[in-house]
Amino acid sequence: YFEQLVKAKRLKHFHPTLDWNVSNASIRTDSNDNATVSKKNSGGLVDGLTAAIIGLSRAMVAEQVRGPYFMRL
């Protein structure tokens, strides 16, 4: 889902470190079509990107609570 948001240009951020993490990352798919973030072809970090993906996945499965930080994707 994260990749779809990026390709549809629906994910907006203004953080240079996340830009750097994305430039270091590639997507690796296994035989079951499970996608993972890989930094195999680069020496840089992908930790911020991984944290963003985990955060989005947690938000998707969490009970919808509307508060001051609620944002509709």
The proportion of the chain whose per-residue pLDDT surpasses 90, expressed as a percent, equals 22
Look at residue 64 in the predicted model and tell me its pLDDT.
61
Over the range 58-73, which residues count as b (16 or more CB within 10 Å of their CB) and which as e?
eeeeeeeeeeeeeeee
Does the pTM surpass 0.75? The reply is no
Q: What is the pLDDT of residue 71?
A: 63
What is the mean pLDDT of the segment spanning 55-59? 86
Q: Name the residue with tokens 């991984």.
A: 50
Q: Quote the CA–CA distance of 36 and 24 in Å, as a whole number.
A: 13
1-26: pLDDT as tens digits: 888 887 788 887 788 998 899 889 98
